[in-house]
Amino acid sequence: MKEKYDVVILGPGPAGLQAAIHAARAKVSVLVMGREHKSSLYKAHVENYCCLGEEKVTGLELDNGDVVEVDGVFIETDKQQQTNVPGIYAAGDICGPPWQVAKAVGEGCVAGLAAAKRAKKIKK
Ligand SMILES: Cc1cc2nc3c(=O)[nH]c(=O)nc-3n(C[C@H](O)[C@H](O)[C@H](O)COP(=O)(O)OP(=O)(O)OC[C@H]3O[C@@H](n4cnc5c(N)ncnc54)[C@H](O)[C@@H]3O)c2cc1C
């Protein structure tokens, strides 16, 4: 396994996989992390479906100290699916309703392309 990737995707659900496809098509290296069978697509019964959990939070702290802003239970993004932290993108159910595959893959596509574009710019 490579030690460094241009784009790292957390969560192999519809949003994450679509982001991976589009980032890879843009010819950047991509790593997808997570467990496929945990996707909500594979669940017959779901409690507290969607979101970050039961408790409302104000942010997700990253290892480097950056904090991704959260609006109660959903991650906020701009139109390129970028969070308030440059280079960190979010897509799919985690961004809020409607909780549909079509929305997840659409946002995943946008996020994957935006992440790949950023990675290429940084590598230049
Ligand atoms: C019972 C049910 C029926 C549904 N029916 C339909 C339908 O008919 N039509 C429709 O369009 N939509 C339907 N949906 C909604 C659809 O499944 C979701 O909108 C879609 O799966 C969202 O994709 P996602 O990639 O955003 O999230 P998910 O599919 O939830 O994928 C998230 C991924 O991230 C991973 N992950 C989460 N946390 C971590 C972590 N900390 N570390 C690593 N990995 C992590 C999970 O394992 C998972 O693989 C249904 C959902 C359910 C539950």
Q: In the prediction, which pLDDT does 44 show?
A: 47
Residue with the smallest CA separation from ligand 1 atom 34 is 11
> In this structure, which amino acid lies at residue 37?
H
Q: Is 60 in the pocket of ligand 1 (CB under 6 A)?
A: no
Q: In the prediction, which pLDDT does 2 show?
A: 67
**In the chain, which stretches have pLDDT less than 50?**
44-51
Q: In the prediction, which pLDDT does 36 show?
A: 62
Q: In the prediction, which pLDDT does 83 show?
A: 95
Residue 13 Cα to ligand 1 midpoint, Å, equals: 5
Q: In the prediction, which pLDDT does 50 show?
A: 47
Single pTM value for the model: 0.88
Q: In the prediction, which pLDDT does 47 show?
A: 43
In this structure, are residues 112 and 19 in contact, taking their beta carbons and an 8 Å threshold?
yes
Q: In the prediction, which pLDDT does 72 show?
A: 79
Q: In the prediction, which pLDDT does 59 show?
A: 81
Relative orientation angle of helices 101-123 and 14-25, to the nearest 10 degrees:
40
**Cα(57)–Cα(71) distance, rounded to whole angstroms?**
8
